[in-house]
Structures are given as structure tokens and as C-alpha cells.
Amino acid sequence: MIRWGILAAVAALGAAAFWLIPREQQKESSAAVLPVPHAPPVDAAQIVSGRLPMERMPQEVGKALETYSEEIVRNSEEIAAKQARIHGTCAPGSAIRVIAEDGSVRCQAVGHGVVSVAAVTAVPRLSSTVTEVGSVQGGVGRYQAGGEDDYLIAPVPLPDGATVTGFSYTFFDSAQGADSEAFLYRSDDEPMASVKSAGAETTVRTLSTEQVRLRKVEAGRHAYFVYFQVSSAARANLMPISASVTYKTQ
């Protein structure tokens, strides 16, 4: 009985001593005893695999990642839109038209052209001139069969703004002592080019010249035509066949 009394007295004294301790110290003592919660450890595999939740990261890290992610996406888009080095080529006489994103090219022919007129469609300059259609090996043309020596006239449809680069004349001339000549004219009576036959041959010939004046085509102001020289004395031995005008548009 005495032992139990002593133990009860000691317990009472301990309780009294606890209540005599200041309240702040009691809180600190109680808090020190409580266990501190810790999140599960983060390993490298979670970071590499992307399985680390954003809420597990500091707020500053999350904002930095968002900023750099936007920059990475923007740089990727810029790189994707960047023109690749040109590695395609175009053949002589053509130029690059389109360059693809992968650097390949599409080509187009440089703006060259030719317009030809046939002598069989030409009409004599004088109404009294008589002409006939003739045929020889290598060509069909028109020759003068009666009347005074004359010229045949044929219009040439040239594109406006083009630059004339050459003039050609195809003919048959086996006449002795007679030659033929073709002229390129403008409708304001300005000569632009001419080609003349020389000597007699039994084959069809073509002669050309690059000596051209008033090269710029002004189709809004002028028409263009060809004069073919013919001869009633030479008849079918002197026969124009065709004329051609070459030009460029660039």
C-alpha cells in the first residue's frame, strides 16, 4: 500500500510540473514528437520518361520549362520553314521557275519564239499581177506568172513587247540572171531586215540574218509584214516559199 501511494504521488507531481511549463514550450515539445511526412524519392528514370508530375517540381522550374518548350517549338517551326540549299539545275536555254522546299527546281524555257509565214498565202502588191502556186522538191510556194515584176505581201503576227532577233527566207531560185529578196517591214513603211538570194541552184535554200533594226515589237501601234520579190520573166524558176521571224520575250 505504501508503494502504490508513493507512485501515485510521483505521478501527481509530474502532471503538476507539466502544467507549470509555459504553453509555447509545450507546443514545441509536442511538435517535435510528431513524424514529418516526406514525398517518395524521385529517381532519374521518372525525369527521363516524363512521368514526374508538374506539382512535384518547384513553380519556377515549371515556368522555365514552359518558356523553353515554346521556344523549342518555335525554333522547330522556323527550321522546318527554312529554305534548303538549291541543288537543282536547268538545261541551257531554260531558267529556274520554281524552287521547292527541298532545294529542287522546276525549269522553264527562256522566252524565245518564231513566227513563220508561207508564200502561198501572200497576195501580190499590184492587182494586175498574176501568180500561181508552185511545187518543187523540198517546198511549196508561189511565183509570178504574168504582169510587171512585183512583190508578194504576207502579214506576220508578232507578239507585243517582243524583241526581234533574226529573219530567215526560204526560197527556190534556179533562174539565171534573176534573184529574189525578202524584206521584213513595219506598217509605217520602216524596213527592219532583209535577206537576198544570190546565184542559181536547183535546191531549196534558206538564208538568215541577225541584222535587225527597230527590234522592239509595238503591236499596239504597228502591223508587221513580209515582202517576197518575184519575177514574171523567171516564173517558177524564182519562187518564194516562206519567211520566219525569231524573237525573245525576256
> In angstroms, what is the C-alpha Rg of the chain?
51
Cα 129 from chain centroid (whole Å): 53
Q: Does 242 lie in the same domain as 180?
A: yes
Band (178; pLDDT cuts 50, 70, 90)? confident
Q: Which helix (H) or strand (E) holds 134?
A: strand 130-136
Averaged pLDDT, 13-17: 51
Higher pLDDT, 197 or 60: 197
Assess whether pLDDT exceeds 60 at residue 3.
Answer: no
C-alpha cell at 138: 523540198
Assess whether pLDDT exceeds 60 at residue 2.
Answer: no
Q: Write the pLDDT tens digit of every residue in 205-248.
A: 999 999 999 999 999 999 999 999 999 999 999 999 999 999 99
Total count of domains within the chain: 2
* Residue 23 is assigned to a structural domain of this protein: no
Domain hosting 140: range is 112-248
Q: Does 141 lie in the same domain as 221?
A: yes
The Cα 26–Cα 20 span in angstroms is 10
* Residue 28 is assigned to a structural domain of this protein: no
Task: Report the relative pairing of strands 139-146 and 94-99 from DSSP bridges.
Answer: unpaired
* Residue 202 is assigned to a structural domain of this protein: yes
Q: Does 89 lie in the same domain as 190?
A: no
Q: Which of left, alpha, beta for 189 (phi over 0: left; psi -120 to 50: alpha)?
A: left
Give, as one character, the DSSP assignment of residue 22.
-
* Residue 152 is assigned to a structural domain of this protein: yes
Concatenated DSSP letters for 140-166? EEEEEEESSS-EEEEE--PPTT-EEEE
172 burial level (CB within 10 Å; 0-12, 13-18, 19+): buried
